[in-house]
């Protein structure tokens, strides 16, 4: 990574911003204009990585000087992606389907470095929901806005009301496997330092 290169997060997600801040990174936010694709024929991992790359590429075209981080998180139930619900009715329907079952959360990440180099990867976690009835779902949605969240829930808010068990990275379910992001940034920095020395 070029010394002093600014880091840009290509996402408006406050959860991703929070995770990067907790990791001690200083960064800017430039919301990507890229349109996500929703191709149910693609593997979950490939779809998330593809969308992450689309987001990162659109911002990197504007900020060639920066390290650009693009990310895309999807909830998959029986291999079907669950995106952000259009309204509260769809949000309730999603939680009905997730209730009492295990599903996968996949986040794809694309990091584009100054000069055009990139690294693309994903992380997957498994989340098991508690059994939920409609009143419990409505009570949860009264506390947590589901409309900006894939799968109509947020792991970082009132998880005790809906989650029985998480296997894998908690941060990945939030929207960014931040440990892997930091490792990718450090690996590029170490490589650059080695080249200089």
Which residue among the candidates 43, 65, 72, 78 is catalytic per the annotation?
72
Give the pLDDT confidence score for residue 94 in this predicted structure: 96
**How far is Cα 56 from Cα 108, in angstroms, rounded to an integer?**
11
Give the pLDDT confidence score for residue 190 in this predicted structure: 65
Give the pLDDT confidence score for residue 187 in this predicted structure: 86
138: left (phi over 0), alpha (psi -120 to 50) or beta: alpha
Give the pLDDT confidence score for residue 109 in this predicted structure: 98
Report the C-alpha dihedral over residues 127, 133, 138, 141, rounded to 10 degrees.
0
Q: Is the pTM of this model over 0.75?
A: yes
Give the pLDDT confidence score for residue 41 in this predicted structure: 85
First-to-last C-alpha distance (Å) of the chain: 14
Q: For this structure, is 179 an active site residue?
A: no
- Which residue segments constitute the domains of the chain, with CATH numbers given? 7-196 (3.90.950.10)
Give the pLDDT confidence score for residue 1 in this predicted structure: 40
CB under 8 Å to 182, separation ≥6 — which residues?
A: 23, 25
SS3 197: coil
- List, run by run, the mean pLDDT of 10-residue segments along the chain (197 residues): 78 93 96 89 92 98 96 91 91 97 97 95 97 96 91 91 96 95 86 50
Give the pLDDT confidence score for residue 81 in this predicted structure: 86
Tokens linked to 133: 């009835």
Give the pLDDT confidence score for residue 39 in this predicted structure: 85
Give the pLDDT confidence score for residue 4 in this predicted structure: 72
């Amino acid at each position: 990574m070029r010394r002093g290169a600014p880091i840009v997060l290509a996402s408006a997600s406050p959860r991703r911003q929070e995770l990067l801040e907790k990791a001690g990174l200083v960064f800017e936010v430039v919301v990507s204009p890229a349109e996500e694709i929703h191709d149910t024929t693609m593997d979950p991992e490939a779809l998330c990585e593809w969308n992450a790359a689309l987001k990162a590429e659109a911002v990197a075209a504007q900020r060639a000087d920066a390290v650009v981080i693009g990310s895309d998180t999807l909830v998959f139930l029986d291999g079907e992606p669950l995106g952000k619900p259009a309204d509260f009715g769809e949000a309730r329907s999603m939680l009905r389907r997730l209730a009492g079952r295990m599903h996968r959360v996949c986040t794809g990440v694309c990091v584009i470095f100054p000069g055009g180099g990139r690294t693309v990867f994903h992380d997957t976690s498994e989340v098991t929901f508690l059994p939920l009835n409609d009143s419990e779902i409505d009570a949860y949605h009264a506390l947590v806005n589901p409309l900006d969240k894939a799968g109509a829930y947020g792991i970082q808010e009132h998880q005790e009301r809906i989650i029985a068990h998480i296997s894998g990275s908690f941060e990945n379910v939030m929207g960014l496997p931040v440990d892997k992001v930091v490792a990718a940034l450090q690996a590029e920095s170490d490589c650059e330092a080695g080249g200089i020395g």
